[in-house]
Amino acid sequence: MKKLLLFVFVGLFCFACTSNNNGCAGESCENSGVEPGETPGEEPGGNPGEEPPPPPPPANKLSVNGPNLMKNGEKFVLRGMSLYWYEGPWGGQQPGNSFYTEATVMALANPDTWGANLVRAAIGNVKQDPGVALSVAKNMMDWAKNAGIYVIIDNHSHIAHRPGHAEAANNFFREVSSYAKEKGYTHVIYEIYNEPVCDWDKTETNCTNAERTSWETIKSFSVGVINTIRGNDPDGIILVGTPNFSANIQVAASDPIAGHNLMYVLHYYAGTHMGYQTRFKEAYCANFPIFISEWGTPASSGTGTINVENNNSWMSLVESAGVSWANWSLVTAKETSAALASMDVNGPTTESGTMVKTWIRELNAGRSTSGVVPTGVCN
């Protein structure tokens, strides 16, 4: 009788195990890794054999849609300062080098002072001293991450397409994008060619219009560097320089590079380049993605007086379009375009610096500011 009762008890216990929703029994129920209410081979919350949805993108990840820079599905505008050339093409003192510090980046990001959401690192020694250039780029990426802002790593060259320079640019951006991948950074923007100017056999900037570097040459160079970056950063924003000091965006707009998250550079100086507004409007209104990675308040020489009316006109147009920008430059050099009146980033500013600092802080805070008024872009 005891044997019979034991047999019945064991049979009922096994029936209960095999009848639960997991389809497992005994010890295998405990070790199956299947939660109650699921069947083996089924992903939680999905159908059998269905891949789980991809994780959402990082909160600060940017993309390009038509002419617009996007963040979290919304149009997004970056406004900030470009640092001066790090190791520019002259010997002796380098006026920009002293501002490549974490304190500078933190000061720019402070909403009570500058309020920038972008800093541009204009690195000029990619070929001459690649180890130092890479070190500066890594530091700027780290400091911008700590400050919670975006950073443009700019190959600040006029001849990046030339032999030796092109190889250096590829190596530089391979290492920069590899570091971004290693650190999981999504706040890095790659500017692969600051201002293309002169073709093969001329000095950096002394050439006629007929001797300017063509879009075909720039495009060929750019495709190679873009492919290099995409090997490490498939979706990062890449800025492509355009002919004649990054001014002739219309030729790039007629023959763009295939790919995604690419934007094309327009540089202007308000004292010289009012005529560029027409090409800006035409390109933007044709859904061509523009990024103004460098602009200045005076003439293109960086000197002379500041025409306030010209500056207001340009900024009203750029802001009405919602195009991102970086001003040239955060430095104390003896140029009208220099923003600082002393070595203290939080200290006195020049006429140019006062104008631009106010615009950055107020516009990034969503406030209206003097001189910037809505204007027609595509009408």
Domain boundaries, the chain: 1-44, 73-364
Q: Rounded to whole angstroms, how far apart are CA atoms 136 and 96?
A: 13
pLDDT of residue 92: 63
Cα–Cα distance for residue pair 165/194, rounded to 1 Å? 13
- pLDDT score at 17: 40
The neighbour count for residue 280, using CB atoms within 10 Å, is 23
Residue 27 confidence (pLDDT): 38
Beta-bridge mates of residue 80: 118, 326
pLDDT along the chain (379 residues), means of 10: 40 40 38 37 46 64 98 96 89 84 98 97 96 98 98 97 96 98 98 93 81 96 98 98 97 98 98 97 98 97 95 98 98 94 96 98 96 93
Distances (CA, A) of 138 to 121, 124, 129, 175: 11, 15, 15, 9
Give the active site residues: 195, 294
pLDDT recorded at residue 74: 96
Whole-prediction pTM value?
Answer: 0.85
pLDDT at 125 (0 to 100): 93
CA nearest neighbour of 136 among 165, 176, 108: 176
CATH superfamily of 73-364: Glycosidases (3.20.20.80)
Q: What is the pLDDT of residue 147?
A: 97
Q: How far apart are the first and last CA of the chain?
A: 97
Distance, CA of 69 to CA of 268 (rounded, Å) = 20
Cite the beta strand spans of the chain per DSSP E.
62-65, 68-71, 74-75, 79-83, 118-123, 150-155, 188-191, 238-240, 262-269, 290-296, 325-330
